[in-house]
């Protein structure tokens, strides 16, 4: 279990590997997980809220903050498994963490556009997991806002990066 109260904000495009990093955080550090995909599924919403108005994301964000607050009230570290695709969204989670006395770690999991589109094509054929439509995925990639230099973050590009980060966090 992580010694300090921390919020890990996962950030990266769809299909970049954030859920893999989140599972490692949960397994090795014992953090709780708040997942937008899990919240959507529990409500019977389509994956990625595809076909729903953008306003539906406000409802999901509210649910994420509520779930995050419940974990913070217990004093446990938490990972938010989501794309955190906009700066304002990351800022909202950071502000919530700070207000609750939590340290915040922005964990950026980048992947090339080509790699993401190749994963999408494979997963669309194999149906191993839900994916966005290609059109929605391309729009997501076009609008994704990666962390800027003024946003302290750790970048996880490989298994070795992940291992080093987990070792530092223990």
Which pLDDT score, from 0 to 100, does residue 32 have? 98
**Rounded to two decimals, what is the model's pTM?**
0.92
Local confidence pLDDT in tens for the 170 residues of the chain: 345 899 999 999 999 999 999 999 999 999 999 999 999 889 888 888 888 877 788 888 999 999 999 999 999 999 999 999 999 999 999 999 999 999 999 999 999 999 999 999 999 999 999 999 999 999 999 999 999 999 999 999 999 999 999 999 99
Domains of the chain, each with CATH number or no CATH: 6-169 (3.40.50.300)
Residue 40 · residue 94 · CB < 8 Å:
no
CA distance 85 to 13: 7
CA distance 44 to 46: 7
Which pLDDT score, from 0 to 100, does residue 3 have? 52
Residues 6+ away with beta carbon under 8 Å from 75: 5
Residue 47 · residue 53 · CB < 8 Å:
no
């Amino acid at each position: 279990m992580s010694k300090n109260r921390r919020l890990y904000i996962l950030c990266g495009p769809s299909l970049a590997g954030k859920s893999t990093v989140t599972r490692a955080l949960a397994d090795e550090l014992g953090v709780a997980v708040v997942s937008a995909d899990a919240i959507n599924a529990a409500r019977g919403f389509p994956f990625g809220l595809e076909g729903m108005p953008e306003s539906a994301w406000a409802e999901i964000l509210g649910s994420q903050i509520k779930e995050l607050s419940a974990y913070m009230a217990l004093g446990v570290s938490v990972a938010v498994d989501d794309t955190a695709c906009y700066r304002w969204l990351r800022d909202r989670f950071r502000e919530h963490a700070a207000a609750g006395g939590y340290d915040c770690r922005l964990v950026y999991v980048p992947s090339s556009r080509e790699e993401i589109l190749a994963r999408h094509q494979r997963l669309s054929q194999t149906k191993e997991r839900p994916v966005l439509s290609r059109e929605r995925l391309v729009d997501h990639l076009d609008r994704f806002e990666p962390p800027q230099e003024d946003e302290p973050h750790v970048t996880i590009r490989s298994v070795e990066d992940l291992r080093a980060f987990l070792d530092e966090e223990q």
